């Protein structure tokens, strides 16, 4: 009896078979199928996205780690913004995996913006975490400028 490994054509499985040679024919049978699942996936979205500071030309966002890193170390966070009068998000920047706060700059005073944050690992990018409502770029309550 001769053991034979047969690749199933994808990266996640193979079968172990045996081959028995007799005088009149070959007999082949499957002993065991091994399925190897990928142990990594893209991470889940960041949690608890919120605005911690607003000003006339910037907003500071903060968030918490995702529920799951997907089985692979996190590599960084992506931050996007969108003026509510526009149709698409644009990149506001990125930060490393150990940073849970980001200052989005170059905002226009009085305009409202939507923000979203995603996290990456070596497998891919999470879904976006977003705020429930737009944020207006303005001085915080009780603040004023002195010229």
Question: Per-residue pLDDT averaged across 68-93, rounded?
Answer: 96
| Residue 18 or 73, more confident | 73
**Is pLDDT of 4 > 70?**
no
Position 5 pLDDT exceeds 50:
no
- Mean pLDDT of all residues in 117-127: 96
Fold of 47-136: Immunoglobulin-like (2.60.40)
Pairing type for strands 74-83 and 26-35 reads unpaired
* Domains of the chain, residue spans: 2-35, 47-136
Contact 49, 118 (CB under 8 A): no
Q: Hey, is 60 helix, strand or coil?
A: strand
pTM, entire model: 0.71
Is 37 a residue whose pLDDT tops 80?
no
* Predicted local distance difference test score (pLDDT) of residue 10: 45
- Supply the pLDDT for residue 56: 95
Helices and strands per DSSP (H, E), number in the chain: 0, 11
* Calpha distance 106→58 (Å, rounded): 6
């Amino acid at each position: 009896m001769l053991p034979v490994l047969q690749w199933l054509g994808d990266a996640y499985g193979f079968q172990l078979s045996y081959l028995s040679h007799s005088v009149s024919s070959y007999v082949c049978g499957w002993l065991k199928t091994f399925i190897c699942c990928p142990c990594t996936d893209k991470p889940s979205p960041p949690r608890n996205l919120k605005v911690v500071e607003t000003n006339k030309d910037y907003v500071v966002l903060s968030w918490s780690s995702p529920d799951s890193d997907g089985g692979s170390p996190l590599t960084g966070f992506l931050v996007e913004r969108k003026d509510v009068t526009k149709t698409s998000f644009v990149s506001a920047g990125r930060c490393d995996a150990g940073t849970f706060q980001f200052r989005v700059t170059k905002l226009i005073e009085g305009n409202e913006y939507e923000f979203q944050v995603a996290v990456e690992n070596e497998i891919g990018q999470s879904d976006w975490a977003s705020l429930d409502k737009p944020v207006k770029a303005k001085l915080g309550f009780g603040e004023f400028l002195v010229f």
